[in-house]
Amino acid sequence: MAGPLSSYRLSARPEGGSGRGRRAERGSPSRSNEVISPEILKMRAALFCIFTYLDTRTLLHAAEVCRDWRFVARHPAVWTRVLLENARVCSKFLAMLAQWCTQAHSLTLQNLKPRQRGKKESKEEYARSTRGCLEAGLESLLKAAGGNLLILRISHCPNILTDRSLWLASCYCRALQAVTYRSATDPVGHEVIWALGAGCREIVSLQVAPLHPCQQPTRFSNRCLQMIGRCWPHLRALGVGGAGCGVQGLASLARNCMRLQVLELDHVSEITQEVAAEVCREGLKGLEMLVLTATPITPKALLHFNSICRNLKSIVVQIGIADYFKEPSSPEAQKLFEDMVTKLQALRRRPGFSKILHIKVEGSC
């Protein structure tokens, strides 16, 4: 799905959208007075078995092959997993898809783009006119899926989808179990987290770390972490991050989410032994996986996590020199960073660390 969505628009014509389309539908097997042969029924049954494995783009193209393929390709039973990525879409397109997504249990919108900017349109005008421009169509999708939707993922859709998307989900999809929302322009705030928590109490996996670099780096704050802990004490997997996250919020989170098994921290301030001790004092006893992305951590902090979190099976540390130094190109910074990495790598020789500690250094082979 790597190109613009012009092919989607061609494939997703509304039923009876043109005179020729209406003529094609005349005598359709969906009409009650038409007798469908056993051969056609067998073919459709076979198509149902195959089409349930097709992705969204392929389903849209399959609907253009013939009348029987269209019948199956536009049946809600094959639209259980909806994935739109790397494409230029409009709100009307999403609203059109909604008619087939009444049984969808998974919806993923990733790296979507709005219309192209007009020649005489300034960047400011373009940003204003496209801000939240897909949310009306997304609302139609969420409303259609309703209580069937269990998984919602929205990522890398800057400006065109804001954190209002999660507020919409709280209104229509109260059975959600896994939610991902990652944005560099509109990170989720505590007000929307409260609304999502009020509407969707069954969430066990939540990924809401802002993308880096973030235009509002402090919007996701300690207050957000505290709200998450109050709304979903039964969380099993959580991904948070940003400059606004501190020890107070992390400690509150650990205290409230006692069942947490997977914790991902993205672009959080340095985790020292003191921070690790404060957080582990409040909870994280059942933690099985700790992922630190662009989050500096000291060897002593890692030792503390490993000694307190007895169920830890994996610690992943992904770091780069820019996470530690403002001038990463300077020889002094490079030398200090090499020493830090060496000390972290040395932990793998300690008992209990060799199999669980994975250190990935940005830019290294």
Q: What is the pLDDT of residue 365?
A: 43
Q: What whole-number distance in Å separates Cα of residue 299 and Cα of residue 316?
A: 13
Which of 252, 289, 249 shows the shortest CA–CA distance to 269? 249
Helix (H, G, I), strand (E, B) or coil at 21: helix
Q: What is the pLDDT of residue 254?
A: 95
All structural domains of the chain, each given as residue ranges with its CATH number in brackets, are 223-365 (3.80.10)
Mean pLDDT of successive 10-residue segments in the chain (365 residues)?
A: 42 46 42 71 88 91 90 92 94 94 96 91 92 96 97 96 96 97 95 96 97 91 96 97 92 95 94 94 93 93 93 93 84 89 90 89 66
Supply the angle between the helices 164-172 and 135-145 in degrees, to the nearest 10. Answer: 20
**How far, in Å, are 126, 134, 167, 241 from residue 140 at the CA level?**
24, 10, 14, 30
The two tokens of residue 157 are 């859709």
